[in-house]
């Protein structure tokens, strides 16, 4: 498939010139860092003395590093709950807000608000909601006759942070799904209505197939975000000195690099995380070919 | 284009000669980096301004960052070979930097300044002293003492802590001060609370007073699982889970900050750095020395923050002048005004500048008297990782998710493995 017009002659020069700032930033910023991380993952480096070659030592250490494996398990569990949660809920919200109802812009703004609010500030609010003895949520539960729940205790903390992360990402997902939904031509609905299809049939036969590109894109974004999730988790589950009751891989990378003088090990962890994401992306793109409908 | 090249050549040659011709009377600029709250910058700036009056040829650029940012920034600058000339050091982390060769040996400078070390509290120097000299100088120090909320003691009719208190007295008082005020089955006021993650705030003190040790002399063995130490751990376990006079980590977590400052707990043990924050509360409080153990031992922890000079510094002489000034009586007095720590010079600590701080009326002498039985917070290579192995490892106990002794049996070898890896 080809899009748009091909730049010709002088246009090509201007095109490159205008893209240069971004491209140079990408080459040195992103690709440079990726390359440096790959090289450092084969080195032993404490940041203060020159790095020495370590071969695959850092990678072997990953298998025996209990803390890293706990973190990796947590990241995978987190992603397994977060990704479907975000995709389904934000699609649902987008469908609800894709109609002519009064004050639809207000609702859309409200759902988008968490995306533009500081994660640290909102996490503090969530802390007040989740508190065991002082929290708003338990206050409500108790008044309804229920028992207080320790939302941020180790057994529930994972679920609680997943909820906050989903809540924080609905806005972004909603925008993506709204774009997908508004692109569906109204004629399809009108034509099927004439043919006698009800709303449920329309939803499964028209809406879902035609938003599959959005579902695909959102799943991709959500997966990447899930593997990088840090701010809400940190604010809600942190303990002293960078420890957390739900330590995810990002915690482990940060602590190894900056607290434990183990930059090489941290790089290896980052690379392993990247490989997992790349493999998942591969699977997604394979699925895209089979299930995603482009008009 | 040719003009630009020419201009670059001229400018760079000027810059290069400026570097090469630096004699003592040429003006130089050094950088100084320290952790702290934004308002601390003001005090540092005052010190720098006063220093510059005495040394007009040395300009000092001060940069203050919060604790986490400070260490990340410092390591990045060191890795890039552009470290600040002078920077702040936390004593337990000193060896991690010194052993990696990024610090300048200050011994030659100390030797040139006769009697320089005379006025220091000796215990504060201990942390920085190595076989070939000092690679750092203490700037101020902390002893851990018992803080108590007078209003809560008065309300419960409990006598204030005294210098003769034992840990049993503390336990009894904590029990009396633990109250469910509104009778809803949830405790609203706890007797005692202190951070159990880091050793400095309470558990190293307790282990020492029970006659135990935290680490052996050559830093190869973690001793927190020895019998005496286990008694100290058991004490906090009982406070938390038998008496319930000390909140567990889940309860502490929901308050986010300091429970003593929040008026939720009657007693805590912490250092002088907490004083400016506590000075803003609307209840009366004071301090008492740490109690003695049932076995009769008494101990507290002493830890210092200090100055180090980067080995790569272009102006080590100027850097030393600045360090020397901050450690002079004038510099120390200014630093004491911050109210965050105890000055390392005995003369300043025993002067009204420290003892009669206007911010709060408490018995400051307790902090100085505690030195008599204070032990140095261990300075260990790989400190952060070792402390994390212990702090993270013990955390499930304080969350009520693990038993004390089996957890200790796992934590000790894990901590020893870190010591081995950082040798």
* pLDDT cut 90: percent of chain A above it: 58
What DSSP line would sit under B36-58, residue for residue? Answer: --TTHHHHHHHHHHHHHHH-TTE
Taking CB atoms and an 8 Å limit, are A46 and B97 in contact across chains? no
Give the number of other Cβ atoms within 10 Å of residue B56's Cβ: 9
Query: Which residue in chain A is spatially nearest to B392 when comparing CA positions?
Result: A243
> Mind listing the pLDDT tens digit for each residue in A19-31?
999 999 888 888 9
- Chain B hits for A48, CB-CB cut-off 8 Å, are 75, 78-79, 97, 100-102
Residue A74 scores a pLDDT above 90: yes
CB-CB neighbors (< 8 A) of B256 in chain A: 124, 127
Complete domains list, chain A, with CATH: 8-38 (no CATH), 65-291 (1.10.3720.10)
Buried b (16+ CB within 10 A) or exposed e, B270-298: bbbebbbbbeebeeebbbbbbbbbeeebb
- Say whether B399 and A240 touch across the interface (CB within 8 A): no
Of B78, B195, B251, the CB nearest to A240: B195
Measure B74 CA to nearest chain A CA, in Å: 10
Q: Does B409 contact A at CB distance below 8 Å?
A: no
Å from B302 to nearest chain A CA? 20
- Of the candidates B251, B178, B187, the one whose C-alpha atom is nearest the C-alpha of residue A132 is B251
B253 contacts in A (CB within 8 Å)?
Answer: 152, 239
HSE (side-chain half, CA atoms, 13 Å) at A141: 16
If pLDDT is split at 50, 70 and 90, which confidence band does A1 have? very low
Shortest distance, CA A244 to any CA of chain B (angstroms):
9
Going by pLDDT thresholds of 50, 70 and 90, the confidence category of residue A3 is low
Pick one of 3.50.50.60, 3.10.20.30, 3.90.1010.10, 3.40.190.10 as the CATH number of B27-142+303-355.
Answer: 3.40.190.10
Res. A245: pLDDT tops 90: no
Confidence of residue A13 (pLDDT cuts 50, 70, 90): confident
DSSP state of B341: S
Residue owning tokens 């040798």: B423
Place of tokens 């925008």: A175
Mean pLDDT along residues A143-163: 89
pLDDT value, residue B92: 94
Q: How many angstroms away from the CA of B392 is the closest CA of chain A?
A: 7
Q: Answer whether residue A8 shows pLDDT above 80.
A: no
Sign of CA dihedral B86, B91, B95, B96: negative
Higher pLDDT, residue B71 or A242? B71
State the virtual CA torsion across B312, B321, B331, B275 in degrees, nearest 10.
10
Using an 8 Å CB-CB cutoff, list chain A residues near B76: 47
Among A261, A263, A264, A267, the residue to mutate for chain B (most B Cβ within 10 A): A261
pLDDT number for residue B418: 94
A259 touches chain B (CB under 8 A): yes
Q: What integer pLDDT is reported at residue A52 of this predicted model?
A: 94
The pLDDT value given to residue B17: 43
CA gap B380, B386 in Å, rounded: 8
What pLDDT was estimated at residue A119?
87
Contact A48 B97 (CB under 8 A): yes
List the 7-36 stretch of B: residues with Cβ below 8 A of A. none
Give the Å distances, CA to CA, from A210 to A95, A206, B192. Answer: 13, 6, 61
Burial of B325 from C-beta contacts in 10 A (0-12 / 13-18 / 19+): buried
Pick from A49, A131, A135: which is nearest to B100 by CB?
Answer: A49
Look up residue B66 and give its two tokens.
């919060």
**Nearest Cα to Cα of residue B244 among B152, B195, B177, B153:** B177
Q: In sequence order, which residues have a C-beta less than 8 Å from that of residue A208 and are 6 or more positions away?
A: none
B388 contacts on A by Cβ (under 8 Å): 241-243, 255, 259-260
Q: Does the distance separating the beta carbons of B197 and A239 come in below 8 Å?
A: yes
B75 touches chain A (CB under 8 A): yes
- Other beta carbons within 10 Å of B334: 21
Cβ B224 vs Cβ B408: under 8 Å: yes
Architecture of domain B145-301+368-421: 3-Layer(aba) Sandwich (3.40)
Q: Do B197 and A47 touch (CB under 8 A)?
A: no
Nearest residue in chain B measured CA to CA from A243: B392
Provide the CB-side half-sphere exposure for B378 (13 A, CA).
25
Mean pLDDT score of chain A: 90
Max Cα separation, chain A?
A: 75
pLDDT at B22: 44
Interface test with B, best of A36, A257, A258, A259 (most B CBs within 10 A): A259
Residue A2 banded pLDDT, cuts 50, 70, 90: low
Contacts of A67 in chain B (CB under 8 A): 392
Alpha-carbon dihedral angle through residues B334, B339, B340, B341, given to the nearest 10 degrees: 70
Amino acid A4: pLDDT: 67
The band of A66, judged by pLDDT with boundaries at 50, 70 and 90, is confident
Interface mutation target, options A44, A48, A234, chain B, most CBs of B under 10 Å = A48
Q: What pLDDT, on a 0 to 100 scale, did the predictor assign at position B97?
A: 96
* pLDDT score recorded for residue A284: 94
CB atoms A133 and B251 under 8 Å? yes
Q: Do A153 and B395 touch (CB under 8 A)?
A: no
Choose the mutation target among B202, B254, B399 for the interface with A, i.e. most A CBs under 10 Å. Answer: B254
Q: Is residue A240 within 8 angstroms of chain B, CB to CB?
A: yes
Of chain A residues 178-207, which have a CB less than 8 A from chain B?
A: none
Nearest to A135 among B79, B254, B391 (CB): B254
> Cβ contact (<8 Å) for A49 and B391?
no
The confidence score (pLDDT) of residue B50 equals 94
- The predicted pLDDT at position B370 comes to 96
| Statement: residue A240 has pLDDT above 80 | no
Decide if A134 touches B, using CB distance below 8 A. yes
Nearest residue, CB atoms, B75 vs list A135, A245, A258: A258
Residues of A in contact with B396 (CB under 8 A): 154
Residues of chain B positioned with their CB less than 8 A from the CB of A130: 254
Q: Are A260 and B388 inside 8 Å of each other by CB? A: yes
The DSSP secondary structure of A75-120, one letter per residue, reads: HHHHHHHHHHHHHHHHHHHHHHTSS--TTHHHHHHHHHHHHHS-HH
Q: Does B384 touch chain A (CB under 8 A)?
A: yes
Q: B32 φ, ψ to 5°?
A: -130, 125
Judged by a CB distance cut-off of 8 A, whether residue A52 touches chain B is: no
Ranges assigned E (strand) in B231-378: 265-270, 285-288, 300-309, 342-343, 374-376
A254 interaction partners in chain B (CB closer than 8 Å): none
Q: Where is A178: in which H helix or E strand?
A: helix A154-182
Q: B78, B251, B253: which to substitute to probe chain A, counting the most A Cβ within 10 Å?
A: B253
Fold matches, B27-142+303-355 and B145-301+368-421: yes
Provide Rg for chain B, Cα atoms: 24
Cβ partners under 8 Å of residue B227, min gap 6: B212
Q: Where are the domains of chain B?
A: 27-142+303-355, 145-301+368-421
Task: Judge contact between B127 and B91, C-beta under 8 A.
Answer: yes
Residue B359 has a pLDDT of 85
- Under-70 pLDDT residues of chain B: 1-25, 256
**Predicted local distance difference test score (pLDDT) of residue B16:** 45
Does pLDDT of A295 surpass 80?
no
């Amino acid at each position: 498939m080809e899009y748009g017009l091909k730049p010709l002659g002088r246009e090509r020069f201007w095109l490159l010139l205008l893209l240069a700032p971004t491209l140079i930033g990408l080459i040195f910023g992103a690709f440079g860092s990726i390359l440096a991380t790959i090289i450092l993952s084969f080195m032993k480096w404490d940041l203060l003395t020159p790095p020495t070659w370590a071969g695959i030592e850092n990678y072997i250490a990953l298998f025996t590093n209990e803390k890293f494996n706990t973190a990796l398990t947590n990241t995978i569990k987190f992603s397994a709950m977060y990704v479907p949660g975000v995709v389904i809920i934000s699609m649902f919200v987008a469908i609800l807000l894709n109609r002519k109802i009064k004050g639809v812009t207000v609702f859309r703004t409200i759902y988008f608000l968490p995306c533009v609010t500081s994660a640290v500030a909102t996490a503090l609010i969530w802390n007040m909601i989740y508190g065991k003895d002082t929290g708003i949520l338990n206050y409500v539960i108790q008044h309804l006759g229920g028992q207080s729940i320790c939302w941020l205790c180790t057994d529930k903390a994972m679920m609680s942070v997943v909820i906050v992360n989903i809540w924080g990402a609905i806005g972004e997902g909603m925008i993506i799904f709204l774009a997908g939904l508004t692109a569906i031509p109204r004629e399809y609905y009108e034509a099927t209505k004439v043919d006698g299809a009800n709303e449920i049939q329309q939803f499964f036969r028209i809406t879902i197939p035609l938003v599959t590109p959005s579902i695909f894109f959102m799943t991709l974004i959500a997966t990447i975000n899930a593997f990088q999730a840090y701010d809400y988790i940190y604010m809600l589950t942190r303990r002293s000195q960078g420890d957390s009751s739900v330590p995810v891989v990002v915690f482990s990378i940060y602590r190894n690099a900056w607290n434990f003088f183990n930059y090489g090990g941290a790089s290896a962890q980052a690379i392993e995380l990247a490989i997992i994401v790349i493999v998942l992306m591969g699977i997604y793109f394979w699925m895209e070919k089979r299930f995603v409908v482009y008009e | 284009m040719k003009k630009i090249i020419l201009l670059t050549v001229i400018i760079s040659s000027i810059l290069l000669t400026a570097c090469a011709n630096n004699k003592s009377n040429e003006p130089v600029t050094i950088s100084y980096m320290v952790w702290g709250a934004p308002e601390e910058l003001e005090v540092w700036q005052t010190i720098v301004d006063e220093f510059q009056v005495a040394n007009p040829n040395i300009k000092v650029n001060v940069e203050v960052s919060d604790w986490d940012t400070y260490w990340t920034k410092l390591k990045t600058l060191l890795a890039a070979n552009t470290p600040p000339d002078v920077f702040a050091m936390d004593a337990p982390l000193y060896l991690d930097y010194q052993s990696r060769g990024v610090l300048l040996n200050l011994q030659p400078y100390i030797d040139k300044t006769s009697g320089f070390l005379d006025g220091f509290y000796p215990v504060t120097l201990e942390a920085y002293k190595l076989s070939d000299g000092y690679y750092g100088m203490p700037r101020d120090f902390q002893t851990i003492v018992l803080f108590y909320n007078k209003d809560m003691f008065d309300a419960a009719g409990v006598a204030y802590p005294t210098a003769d208190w034992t840990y049993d007295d503390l336990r009894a008082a904590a029990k009396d001060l633990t109250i469910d005020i509104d009778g809803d089955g949830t405790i609203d006021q706890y007797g005692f609370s202190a951070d159990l993650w880091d050793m400095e705030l309470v558990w190293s003190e307790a282990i020492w007073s029970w006659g135990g040790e935290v680490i052996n002399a050559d830093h190869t063995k973690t001793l927190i699982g020895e019998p005496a130490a286990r008694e100290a751990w058991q004490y906090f376990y009982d406070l938390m889970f038998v008496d319930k006079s000390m909140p567990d980590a889940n309860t502490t977590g929901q308050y986010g900050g300091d429970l003593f400052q929040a008026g939720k707990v009657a007693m805590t043990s912490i250092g002088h750095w907490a004083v400016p924050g506590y000075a803003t509360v609307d209840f009366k409080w004071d301090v008492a020395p740490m109690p003695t153990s049932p076995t009769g031992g008494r101990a507290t922890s002493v830890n210092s923050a200090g100055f180090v000079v980067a080995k790569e510094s272009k102006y080590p002489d100027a850097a030393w002048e600045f360090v020397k000034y901050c450690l002079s009586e004038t510099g120390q007095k200014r630093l004491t005004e911050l109210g965050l720590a105890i000055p390392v010079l005995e003369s300043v600590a025993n002067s009204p500048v420290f003892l009669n701080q206007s911010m709060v009326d408490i018995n400051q002498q307790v902090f100085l008297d505690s030195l008599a039985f204070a032990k140095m917070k261990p300075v260990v290579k790989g400190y952060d990782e070792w402390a994390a192995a212990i702090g993270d490892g013990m955390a499930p106990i304080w969350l009520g998710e693990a038993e004390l002794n089996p957890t200790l049996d796992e934590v000790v070898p894990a901590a020893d493995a870190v010591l081995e890896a950082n040798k």
